[in-house]
Structure 1
């Protein structure tokens, strides 16, 4: 019997929860080491993950490294328990850093420092109230057309599923685009976000993080990662810094990413860390796809193919 073709998926912002992964640290030494490393690298982060408060954990600069820690802890516990290795990985926005850690390209400490800085820069890039994001239900081609014809900064931030696209930009431009989309029969729902991510307003954050991204060390890929901005397989570490820089202002092409994984013949999509957002999107993109979630001791121990 051939080995299963596993795609490891790693969530982005919004999947966090107080206490995420804490039970894994009590059962698996590998998870405990991840959380200990997180605390050594960013003092105080472990306490926020395990006991909150939620408002502080939700802050972008805390949430980003916290999700990397929780996702990598789940992955390493799973790998130690099952002895399995994925054939490929992908992460949604922030989750791409977790995917690169799993693939051996980026060490955990570097990923934690980079995502803390990324979160700080993204939060500072746009004054509060200036930007906005909306989730749009309908034809993504129409969304792209309306954004392209809009005045001001508004662009597709996430192509999440066949009929779910998130737009991002200046509040007035997002509001106007949302009104036009509604007039065309689409549904637009304002999102409660701290900043307008994945649009040109994030240029200062991309420029601010660029020196650290290009100074970081990237090792060889244990398995390829599908990049957000290209939806293509990457297995050359020389391309990693540039792709992560482009990701800050570019669209997350998740719909195409999952299609790429499906074309590779993936048998099972395993989402590591808190939440089930990515598993749900996979089901919408590839109906009938087999998905599994690994974010707790129970889920690790019950894992079976």
Structure 2
């Protein structure tokens, strides 16, 4: 059994349009993306990091690159049995599985980014990775701070917290004094917390009249760490993860239970690959498959 994993925000980098332009589906899909969004997305993807990392820019950039990578794998005849996406990557997984089309997907993630940016005053929210202590311990620690939540259960050695920037900074300072490693992330808001409830409500209006289709393969959902092929369930939980936690490690464990033996990261950078390798789980990046195919020519 083979799983495709789609990355989330943080996997963007300046120059990604140039790198992905070598793939055969780039020209068509990048043109369609710019027409749908009416922005110069290619220049943003190749431009300065500060502009690219803005949520409303990073999300469509990653979505586009990941979908191009997916279409490339399909063209190589690489099969798949199940999908999962980390945070934003779940939106890409839905498009790849045919729940909605590419055009609506990239429109949706741009709107998601805009609504997240509008949900809380810039600079008031942040996130931090807490390393090498249990998620249960992190859950206990955050209770001592105003407006802090566990946002991502990424691996057995990394749990991400999210919330008010002032509380994040105090948390990091206290962790340092306790000998616990905690690092603030380069993220523009408190993702996956109740602070983003208004973003969830706005995005709900964007999709309430859109008919979601049954996916080609099951999708393991961030909010439940369970697989689903039910369109209404997919629609509900796609919204829920905006203001709720991402159970990523639990999702990976569920796929292993289902019999997944091969994981492929489908998108820019190798953030998900690094997470799984720390769990001693085999995974390859889609670009490695390209190299394997080239070596056979």
Q: When the two structures are superposed, what TM-score results if normalisation uses the length of structure 1? A: 0.89
Corresponding pairs, count: 295
**Structure 1 segments unaligned to the other structure (5+ residues):** none
Q: In structure 2, do the counterparts of structure 1 residues 297 and 230 end up closer, same or farther at CA, with 3 Å as the change threshold?
A: closer
Number of the residue aligned with 1:167: 161
Residue 253 in structure 1 maps to residue 209 in structure 2: no
Task: Point out the more displaced range, 178-187 or 239-248.
Answer: 178-187
Range that drifts further, 114-123 or 207-216: 207-216
Q: Identify the match of residue 146 of structure 2 among 128, 139, 152.
A: 152
Secondary structure of the 2:59 match is helix
CA RMSD of aligned residues (A): 2.2
Per the alignment, do residues 24 and 36 of structure 1 end up closer, same or farther by CA in structure 2, a change over 3 Å counting?
same
Do the aligned partners of 2:23 and 2:68 also contact (CA within 8 Å) in 1? no
State whether structure 2 residue 286 is matched by structure 1 residue 294: yes
Distance 1:209 1:239 in 2: 16
Quote the residue 2:237 is aligned against: 243
Matched, 1:48 2:47: no
The change in CA–CA distance for 1:241 and 1:171 in structure 2 (over 3 A counts) is same
1:58-207 equivalence runs, <5 A = 58-81=53-76, 83-137=77-131, 138-147=133-142, 149-182=143-176, 185-207=179-201
| Contact in 2 for aligned 1:143/1:181 (Cα 8 Å) | no
Q: Is the 8 A contact 2:18 2:46 kept in 1?
A: no
Q: 1 CA distance for matches of 2:167 and 2:50?
A: 29
Shift of 1:265: 1.5
Moved over 3 A (4+): 21-27, 175-185, 295-304
Distance 2:255 2:23 in 1: 31
Whole-Å separation in 1 of the counterparts to 2:292 and 2:51: 28
Displacement of 1:219 after TM fit? 1.2
Assess if the C-alpha contact under 8 Å between 1:135 and 1:166 holds in 2. yes
- What is the TM-score with the length of structure 2 in the denominator? 0.91
Where 2:208 maps in the other structure, the secondary structure is helix
Contact 1:21 1:273 in 2 (8 A): no
Q: Distance in 2 between matches of 1:21 and 1:11?
A: 16
Residues 7 and 80 from structure 1, CA distance in 2 versus in 1: closer, same or farther, beyond 3 angstroms?
Answer: same
Cα deviation, 1:74-94, whole Å, max 9, x if unaligned, reads: 11011112x232100111100
Report what 1:9 is aligned to.
Answer: 5
Structure 2 residue aligned with 1:18: 14
Q: Deviations over 1:130-175 (max 9, x none)?
A: 222111111110111122x324211101111002111011123333
Residue pair 2:116, 2:189 contacting (<8 A) in 1 also: yes
Secondary structure at the aligned position of 2:61 is classed as: helix
